[in-house]
Amino acid sequence: MEVLWWILVVILFVAGFAGLLIPVLPDAPLLFVGFLVYHFLIDSDALNWPFWVAAVIVMAVAFLVDYVASGVAARTYGGSRLSVLAAVAGAIIFPFILGPVGILVGPLVAVVIVELIQRKSWQEALRVGWGTLVGFLGGLFFKGLLMFGILIWFVILAV
């Protein structure tokens, strides 16, 4: 039975990292659920309290990065508050239209459209769109590093 639990843990970890690119999958929460499955169904002694504190912090920071990175970048590059909402909407909607490429293209296109509707020039709209994309990719990279770090710590403790 333990093998089945390990398979579930690995599936949750893979789905968590896939969630970095697929917006409908919660990335860090899936990783956290994998830790919980391991703790409650495989070995309740391996993961110590410093690990759990770090795992909760990583999950909270990953959640904040989702909402802050693109928004901060959009605002830094001169975007409006609507641009921040457009970036989030683009990241959610466009992957269903364009597949995985939509996660990159969606926020950029949505922000450019919103900025053009607000009567900004093409250059300004593209600059804000580019800033949103840079912020999104930076946040994605940062979240991936956090998740990879806590996963390495898990492997050290569990294996």
pLDDT tops 90 at residue 143: yes
pLDDT, residue 5, reads 96
Rounded to two decimals, what is the model's pTM?
0.81
pLDDT, residue 1, reads 86
Average pLDDT, the chain: 89
pLDDT tops 80 at residue 100: no
pLDDT, residue 14, reads 97
Q: pLDDT tens digit string along 106-118? A: 888 998 999 999 9
CB of 34 closer than 8 Å to CB of 12: yes
Amino acid (1-letter code) at residue 123: Q
Question: Residue 94 and residue 92: Cα distance in Å, rounded?
Answer: 6
SS3 labels along the chain:
CHHHHHHHHHHHHHHHHHCCCCCCCCHHHHHHHHHHHHHHHCCCCCCCHHHHHHHHHHHHHHHHHHHHHHHHHHHHCCCCHHHHHHHHHHHHHHHHHHHHHHHHHHHHHHHHHHHHHCCCCHHHHHHHHHHHHHHHHHHHHHHHHHHHHHHHHHHHHHC
- Tracing tokens 């759990």 back to the chain, one arrives at 52
Q: What is the average pLDDT across 81-100? A: 82
Task: Return the minimum-mean-pLDDT range out of 32-41, 92-101, 125-134.
Answer: 92-101
Query: Sorting pLDDT into bands at 50, 70 and 90, what band is 105?
Result: confident
Q: Of 29, 8, 25, 49, nearest to 153 (Cα)?
A: 49
pLDDT tops 70 at residue 67: no
Question: Residue 157 and residue 120: Cα distance in Å, rounded?
Answer: 53
pLDDT tops 80 at residue 75: no
